[in-house]
Amino acid sequence: MVEVWFFYFFAAIAVVASLGVILLRNPVAAAMLLVVTLCALAAEYVLLGAEFSAAIQVLVYAGAIVILFTFVIMMLNLGQEEVGQLAGFSKWALLLFMLGGAGVILIQRLSMGALPPGVPGGAASDNTYEVGMALFTKYLWPFELASLLILLALIASVVIARKPTFPSRDA
Partner 1 sequence: MIWMVLLFPLLGALLNGFLLPRRSKLLSHGVAVAAVAGAFACACCVFLEFFATRHSHLYFGFNWLQAGKFTAPFELVVDQLSGLMILIITGIGTLIHIYAGGYMKEEVTTYRFFAYLNLFVFMMLLLVLGNNLLVMFVGWEGVGLCSYLLIGYWFQEEANAKAGMKAFLVNRIGDIGFLIGIFLTYKHFGTVSFSELSSWMNLMPTLAEPYPKALFWITLSFFIGACGKSAQLPLYVWLPDAMAGPTPVSALIHAATMVTAGIFMMTRLSFFFYAAPDTMLIVACVGALTALFAATIALVQTDIKKVLAYSTVSQLGYMVLACGVGAFDAGVFHLLTHACFKALLFLGAGSVIFAMHHEQDMRRMGGLRKHLPITHGVMLVGVLAIIGVPGFSGFFSKDEILWKAFIFPTYGPILWGIGFLAAGCTAFYMVRLLCLTFYGTPYQDKSAHHHHHPHETPWYMWGPLVVLALLSIGVGYLGVPDFLAHLVGGHNLFAHYLEGLIYIPASAQGAWGHLHAEHAHELEWGLMLSSVALVTLAAGTAVFCYTNRPVRGVASFLGGHFPRLHQLLLDKYRVDECYQRKIVTPLAEISTFLWQVVDVRVINGCVNWVGYLLMGTSGIASFRMTGSLHRYGFWVLAGTVCVLIISCF
Partner 2 sequence: MSAMVPIEHSLILAFLLFFIGAAGVLIRRNLITVLMSIELMLNSANLLFVAASRQVGNVEGQVMMSFVILIAACEAAIGLAMVIAIFRRYGNIKTEFLRALRG
Contacts of 66 (CB under 8 A, 6+ apart): 31, 34, 35, 38
Binding residue for partner 2, selected from 104, 110, 140, 144, defined by CB under 8 A: 110
CB atoms within 10 A of CB 17: 20
The answer to whether 54 touches 43, Cβ cutoff 8 Å, is yes
DSSP class of residue 162 equals: S
- Say whether residue 163 binds partner 1 (CB under 8 A): no
Residue 29 · residue 20 · CB < 8 Å:
yes
From the list partner 1, partner 2, none, partner contacted by residue 86 (C-beta under 5 to 8 A by kind): partner 2
In the range 20-79, which residues lie near partner 2 by CB under 8 A?
A: 21-22, 27, 30-31, 34, 37-38, 41, 44-45, 47-50, 52-53, 56-57, 60-61, 64-65, 68-69, 72-73, 75-76, 78
User: Cα separations (Å) of 35 from 11, 69, 78, 146?
Assistant: 14, 11, 20, 25
- 107 in contact with partner 1 (CB under 8 A): no
For the CB of residue 10, give the shortest distance to partner 1 in the complex, in Å.
26
Q: How far is the CB of 84 from partner 1 (least distance, A)?
A: 16
Contacts with partner 1, residue ranges (CB under 8 A): 87, 89, 91, 94-95, 98, 101-102, 105, 108-109
